[in-house]
């Protein structure tokens, strides 16, 4: 199966990758719906909502500070690097990710679309203020504040990520849908494929006549439309696949 998938990739000109939390699992970042997806007694779905933030901003910020700390310790893994290599080979056109962990960028992916925001960005709940904490060098400051405040107007800051019930950034979503329509192959990596509208992406590729390749340790919401399902860890399968593609080219 691996050899056949490699042949499909080697003969494609317009491949996109659609990734989820599973691609970062081997970097030590817990996924959302796995057995480690719990923080204290809460499920992410109970914390990553505008209502939870309204009700208890401290609780939600504590959850995000915990995640920021975890992500700061994490490094990209061989799966992230394999996608960088595929991009350099001129096969992969874009990575569309649901992850907020910045690891695709850290690994070196150039054309990256972040559908759910980025955990290192914050924005003000009242004014237009936005900040990228890696650029401003204020990560430690934010982590040490009980409730991070806007340096401009003093209102509450919030993580610049998409919460349940919130719309996705329209520029990113439109770009992702356009790429999906044009793609001849999508590699779906480490997502449960349950959260919409992001999960439409493989469906759009399929409906437009493209091929769906899935890499996951278990079946997902996308598996029913997958033309190829490679079961296993992304950090093991993706590098092998890219090596095989390189051999053919
Ligand atoms: N390699 C490949 N797949 C893996 C690995 C691994 N090493 N480890 C776990 N997986 C798979 C799981 O089997 C599961 O299908 O990764 C998937 C992770 O699923 P979720 O935790 O649901 O993450 P994701 O699909 O990215 O969630 C979507 O939900 O909470 C929101 O906004 C959040 O972007 C997130 C969205």
80 among known catalytic residues? no
- Residue 124 annotated as binding? yes
For residue 168, the tally of other CB atoms under 10 A from its CB is 18
Identify whether the C-beta of residue 201 lies closer than 8 Å to the C-beta of residue 186. Answer: yes
Could you tell me which residue, 39 or 187, shows the higher pLDDT? 187
The tens digit of pLDDT for each residue in 98-125 reads: 999 999 999 999 999 999 999 999 999 9
The tens digit of pLDDT for each residue in 127-149 reads: 999 999 999 999 999 999 999 99
**Where does the pLDDT of residue 32 fall: very low under 50, low under 70, confident under 90, or very high at 90 and above?**
confident
> What are 231's strand-pairing partners?
216
Distance (Å, rounded) from C-alpha 108 to C-alpha 111? 9
Distance (Å, rounded) from C-alpha 148 to C-alpha 122? 9
**Where does the pLDDT of residue 45 fall: very low under 50, low under 70, confident under 90, or very high at 90 and above?**
confident
Please return the burial class of 78, using the count of CB atoms within 10 Å of its CB with bins 0-12, 13-18 and 19+: buried
The tens digit of pLDDT for each residue in 189-236 reads: 999 999 999 999 999 999 999 999 999 999 999 999 999 999 999 999
Whole-prediction pTM: 0.97
pLDDT of residue 42: 86
Distance (Å, rounded) from C-alpha 25 to C-alpha 20? 10
Nearest-CA residue for atom 26 of ligand 1: 20
**Where does the pLDDT of residue 46 fall: very low under 50, low under 70, confident under 90, or very high at 90 and above?**
confident
144 lines ligand 1 (CB under 6 A): no
- Residue 120 annotated as binding? no
Secondary structure of residue 132 in the 3-state scheme: strand
pLDDT of residue 121: 98
- Residue 101 annotated as binding? yes
Sketch out the chain's domains with CATH numbers.
1-28+76-116+168-248 (3.40.50.1220), 30-73+118-161 (3.30.1600.10)
pLDDT of residue 111: 98
**Where does the pLDDT of residue 188 fall: very low under 50, low under 70, confident under 90, or very high at 90 and above?**
very high
Q: Give me ligand 1 centre to Cα 20, in Å.
A: 5
Q: Give me ligand 1 centre to Cα 21, in Å.
A: 4
- Residue 81 annotated as binding? no
Q: Give me ligand 1 centre to Cα 33, in Å.
A: 7
> What are 119's strand-pairing partners?
none
Distance (Å, rounded) from C-alpha 101 to C-alpha 103? 5
Which DSSP letter does residue 155 get?
-
Q: Is the dihedral of CA 114, 126, 52, 71 positive or negative?
A: positive
118 lines ligand 1 (CB under 6 A): no
Query: Of all atoms in ligand 1, which is nearest to the CA of residue 22?
Result: 16
Give 141's Cβ-side CA count (13 Å radius).
Answer: 13
Range list of H helices, 74-169: 78-88, 103-107, 133-136, 139-144
201 lines ligand 1 (CB under 6 A): no
Mutation to probe ligand 1, out of 29, 32, 43, 80 (largest number of atoms < 8 A from CB): 32
218 lines ligand 1 (CB under 6 A): yes
Mutation to probe ligand 1, out of 17, 18, 19, 22 (largest number of atoms < 8 A from CB): 22
Report CA-CA distances (Å) from 12 to 30, 112, 159, 163, 184.
33, 19, 38, 35, 7
Distance (Å, rounded) from C-alpha 98 to C-alpha 194? 12
**Dihedral of the alpha carbons of 182, 187, 188, 190, in degrees to the nearest 10:** -150
pLDDT of residue 33: 84
216 lines ligand 1 (CB under 6 A): yes
pLDDT of residue 35: 72
Chain centroid offset of residue 248 CA:
29
Structure tokens at 20: 């989820």
For the question of an ipTM over 0.95, the answer is yes
195 lines ligand 1 (CB under 6 A): yes
Q: How are beta strands 15-19 and 92-97 bridged, if at all?
A: parallel
């Amino acid at each position: 199966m691996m050899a056949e998938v490699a042949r499909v990739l080697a003969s494609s000109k317009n491949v996109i990758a659609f990734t989820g939390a599973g691609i970062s699992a081997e970097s030590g970042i817990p996924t959302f719906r796995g057995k480690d997806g719990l923080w204290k007694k809460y499920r992410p779905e109970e914390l990553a909502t505008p209502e939870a933030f309204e009700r208890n901003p401290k609780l939600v910020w504590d959850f995000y500070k915990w995640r920021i700390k975890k992500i700061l310790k994490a490094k990209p893994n061989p799966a992230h690097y394999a996608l960088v290599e595929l991009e350099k080979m001129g096969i992969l056109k874009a990575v569309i990710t649901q992850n907020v962990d910045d690891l695709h960028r850290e690994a070196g992916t150039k054309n990256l679309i972040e559908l759910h925001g980025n955990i290192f960005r914050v924005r003000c709940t009242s004014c237009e203020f936005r900040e990228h904490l890696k650029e401003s060098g204020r990560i430690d400051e934010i982590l040490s504040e009980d409730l991070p405040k806007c340096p401009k107007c003093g209102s509450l800051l919030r993580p610049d990520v998409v919460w349940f019930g919130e719309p996705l950034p329209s520029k990113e979503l439109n770009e992702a849908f356009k790429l999906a329509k044009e793609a001849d192959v999508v590699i779906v990596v480490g997502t449960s494929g349950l959260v919409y509208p992001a999960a439409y992406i493989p469906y759009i590729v399929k409906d437009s006549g493209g091929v769906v390749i899935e890499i996951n340790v278990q079946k997902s919401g996308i598996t029913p439309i997958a033309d190829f399902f490679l079961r296993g860890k992304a950090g093991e399968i993706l590098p092998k696949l890219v090596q095989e593609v390189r051999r053919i080219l």
